[in-house]
Structures are given as C-alpha cells and as structure tokens.
Amino acid sequence: MKRLLLVDDNEKYAAIITNHFRPLGYEIDHAVSAADGLSMFTKNGLDHYALIVTDITMESQVAGLFMLRKIHTMGYRGPIVIASTGFDFPGAKTLSKLFLRPTGATYLVPKTTVLRNDFEYHPMAFFAKPLKAFPESS
C-alpha cells in the first residue's frame, strides 16, 4: 500500500480527501497542522510518502507553504497536491502557480471541488487543462 501524508486542520475536508484517496490504494497519515505534518515527514523519512496532500492556511496564513518549502528543500520529489479555498477566484490559479512553484507542488485542487467530491487537479503548467482523475491512479 502507498502512503499519503494529508495535512489539513479541517476535519470535514480531511474526511472527504481520505475517502477520495483510500480507494486509490493509499494509506493515509493525517496531520492537523503544518508543524505536525513536517514532524511526521521528518520522522518517517524522505521516501516514506508516495504523495503529500495539504492545505496552505492552517495555524497561520502560510504555515503549509513553509512546510512544503522545508519538505522540498529536504529533497522530496514525489507528487504534492495543494487543496485550498483560494483557487476559485479569477486569476488565482495563475498567480498561485507562480507563487507555489518553488514548493515542488504538482497540482492545485480548489476545495470547492473537494466539497462536491468532484476533484479537479490543476497541473502546475500554465496552459494545462484540469484533470478529473488523479493522474498517478489512471
């Protein structure tokens, strides 16, 4: 079974994300803060998680961003999915892609699609179309 690190302080979103990825063969480790997520990542090692799914705003406005930069700097090169509420505004995805590239992020997922349980994976490439299925699972 593949391991997934889920970092989100909202239990509702965390449950939906867990229910989405578990049937894809992932065993989920859930952290409720970026600090806990970084601690779990550090404790388990660079190759333990096949995938990281995280929010950005948790215990502070940029805690998830700080965590991702640390994980990326440590050498993690697996897929990273950022699920956040801020991607639904006009132009937000494009600006987010510019801002989040240094974190190693692979996909952006608007949380409105998570709430509908109709996930959209927006690749970090600027003109790529959103995907309806997680690419590593298709």
The pLDDT tens digits for 33-75 are: 999 999 999 999 999 999 999 998 887 767 888 999 999 999 9
Q: What number of other Cβ atoms are within 10 A of residue 73's Cβ?
A: 11
Tens of pLDDT, residue by residue over 66-101, are: 999 999 999 999 999 999 887 877 788 888 888 888
With a pLDDT cut of 70, the percent of the chain lying above it is 98
Q: How does the average pLDDT of the chain come out, rounded?
A: 92
Specify the pLDDT at position 69: 93
pLDDT of residue 95: 86
Q: In what order do the strands lie in the sheet with 2-7?
A: 26-31, 2-7, 51-54, 80-84, 107-110, 122-123
Contacts of 58 (CB under 8 A, 6+ apart): 7, 8, 9, 32, 33, 34, 64
Which superfamily is assigned to 2-127 in CATH?
A: Response regulator (3.40.50.2300)
Task: Examine the pLDDT at 137 and tell me if it is beyond 60.
Answer: no
Name the residue ranges covered by the structural domains of the chain: 2-127
> Which residues, at least 6 apart from 39, have a Cβ–Cβ distance to it below 8 Å?
31
